[in-house]
Amino acid sequence: MIESFLITGRETLEASLVVGIVYGYLHRSGNNHYRPSVHLGIGLGILGSIITAALFQTFTSGFEGVAEQLFEGTTMLIGALLLSTMIIWMMRQHQVTRDIEQKVDLQLHKAPGWSSWGLTMLIATAILREGAETVLFLNAARYESGISFLGSSIGVLAALVIGYLFFKGAQRIKVSAVFKVSSVLLILFAAGLVSHSVHEFQEVAGSVVPLYDINPPMNQDGSYPLLHEKGLVGSFAKGLFGYNGNPSALELAAYVTYLMGMVALWKRNTTHRIGQRRAIA
């Protein structure tokens, strides 16, 4: 549930922030008559996301056996890579609001008749991008630990509320802090995707040999103990942190290597930002 919440919450928050920034800029610049173009862009973006989800489901429904394992492994690996690029991009964005406002301003200064269309496509593209990423990430999560409709719904609702409160000024919400916490959790989730994708590829090759096995034995009634990777606590940890009670050496190496790489990038970005602040001061 928590991984579905994180994915839909993070993606919806990014989309709602883009829309909120555009609304705010149009209001401050006296261009509220362009709001219908934003509404149309939102509708087109959502429609495109639904079509993307339907096409993805249709395309993937016929895989079986080795083809299914290869597809699952590839999907999880691509999902992890896209999550990584998204997190890295967010690390480097210190002027997101200004960048989006500049794009809007560029669209508004186009020739008459093209301004509305350009603004519509700007919004539609932003929402469709987040929607397509959500489809891919949720499918990768499905192969890893399953999708929670409740978690996904709560994630969307929470993101919309945060976005609304942030731009209405009803509360002082540090969106950067929200992104920072969610980035840490998504890095752990992505590490689990990388590790599990390696597991799928190893199963295709028929060479999955556990390095160790700390999973508790099954209960006498056939159920899984809480700390087993398929138990209540273990399955939660597997979905959120990529926990695996019996990984192969290659799976463990992939997990640790990915985490070390992302931590190094995070530290490098933090050091760079501190250096910029000192230079300005």
Give me the residue spans of the domains in the chain. 2-211+247-280
Which amino acid type is present at position 142?
Answer: R
Task: Please give the backbone phi and psi of residue 248, each rounded to the nearest 5 degrees, phi first.
Answer: -80, 170
pLDDT reported for residue 278? 59
pLDDT reported for residue 170? 46
Beta carbons within 8 Å of 87's beta carbon, 6+ residues apart = 183, 186, 187, 190, 262
In whole angstroms, what separates CA 106 from the centre of its chain?
28
Which pTM value belongs to this model?
A: 0.70
Residue among 17, 16, 10, 18 at smallest CA distance from 183: 10
Beta carbons within 8 Å of 103's beta carbon, 6+ residues apart = 122
Percent of the chain predicted with pLDDT > 70 = 83
pLDDT reported for residue 140? 72
Which amino acid type is present at position 130?
Answer: E
pLDDT tens digits, 30-82: 888 888 988 999 999 999 999 988 888 787 776 677 887 888 888 888 888 88
Q: Which single residue is written with the structure tokens 């290597």?
A: 257
In whole angstroms, what separates CA 273 from the centre of its chain?
24
